[in-house]
Amino acid sequence: MNGHIEEDKIKGIYNRTAREYADHVTPCKMCQYMILLHELDLKGDEKVLELGSGPGQLSIEIARRLETGTVIGLDISESMVRIATENAEREKIGNIRFLVGRIEEFDAGERSFDVCVNSYLIHWISDAHSFLRSIHRVLKLGGKLGIISPSNEWYREIRQAYRKVMARYREHLPKHILEEPVGIKIYTEEELHELLNSAGFRISKSIAFRFREAVPIEECFRRIAAKSGEEYLSFLPEEVSGEIRRELMDEIVQVADKLNTTESGYIIIASRCEDEI
């Protein structure tokens, strides 16, 4: 499990919050998409797969740039797929399809895509190696993989607060929750490079980004506590989970003044190596 939140819970989170998520695509997220697109240097005839396509904006931006190519967006959340499909229809983008599913079970056939992208997904994946190997399988030789992965310092700081509180409830909690309390794994740039190399990719570009515009602290709370935190604690008796939540909020409020709430992360372009590993 790697300390990750279970996949059916992730699906539940995004099914419930899809509309809200779709309405909050920030300008800085669009900027990240534009950098990724620039680095992918699409020719126009590619077959592209996006994993965890959410409300579909990145897939739609890619599809707009393909004269003869096509895009498939895959997501485990039915609500996200519905919203993404509506968005593409509204924008009259015809060369795109959104499907419910996960890469590990996606029957695309080996070596069928020129490009695969994922944005703000890898931190949710419990077995990142097998996830990347599945991408490796469906990419053509030399095919490109583009990843946007958040690294937000504010998340790391908030995680310290989680660890501190969770440690007080050691006897109630399974070991994996104590190790990665929020249920997601935010990677460093080096960790992402290692993961990619060991899954058979060669990195051609790695860009660290940081936006100067601050994310309001309430938004950070909303993203972390209201989503992962609550879901992650839901198996506990209400008295215990309620108490943990209250303590978490107290801890977070104490560090709030010091939090650097800018968005930061990495945009990485890699390609599928020729050789099997």
φ, ψ at 202 (rounded to 5°): -110, 130
φ, ψ at 174 (rounded to 5°): -65, 155
Q: Which two tokens stand for residue 141?
A: 């030789």
Nearest CA among 64, 70, 124 for reference residue 98: 70
Shortest spacing between CB 128 and ligand SAM, in angstroms:
11
Q: Burial, 60: exposed, middle or buried (Cβ in 10 Å; 0-12, 13-18, 19+)? A: buried
Shortest spacing between CB 119 and ligand SAM, in angstroms:
3
Shortest spacing between CB 104 and ligand SAM, in angstroms:
8
Shorter beta-carbon distance to ligand SAM: residue 116 or 121: 121
Residue 75 binds to ligand SAM (criterion: CB under 6 A): yes
Shortest spacing between CB 78 and ligand SAM, in angstroms:
9
Residue 10 binds to ligand SAM (criterion: CB under 6 A): yes
Tell me which residue has its CB nearest to ligand SAM.
Answer: 54
Whether the CB-CB separation of 60 and 30 falls below 8 Å is answered with: no
Nearest CA among 248, 160, 144 for reference residue 205: 144
Shortest spacing between CB 138 and ligand SAM, in angstroms:
13
Range in contact with ligand SAM (rule: CB under 6 A) among 68-76, 137-145, 219-227, 262-270:
68-76
Query: How far apart (Å, rounded) are the C-alpha atoms in residues 259 and 237?
Result: 31
Residue 110: which residues within 8 A CB-CB, separation 6 or more? 137, 138
Residue 14 binds to ligand SAM (criterion: CB under 6 A): yes
Shortest spacing between CB 32 and ligand SAM, in angstroms:
8
In the list 97, 102, 163, 172, the residue contacting ligand SAM (rule: CB under 6 A) is 102
Residue 155: which residues within 8 A CB-CB, separation 6 or more? 182, 186, 220, 224
Binding string, residues 107-146; x marks residues near ligand SAM by CB under 6 A: ------------xxx--xx---------------------
Q: Which two tokens stand for residue 215?
A: 């994310």
Binding string, residues 43-62; x marks residues near ligand SAM by CB under 6 A: --------xxxx---x----
Residues that bind ligand SAM (CB under 6 A): 7, 10, 14, 51-54, 58, 74-77, 80, 102, 119-121, 124-125
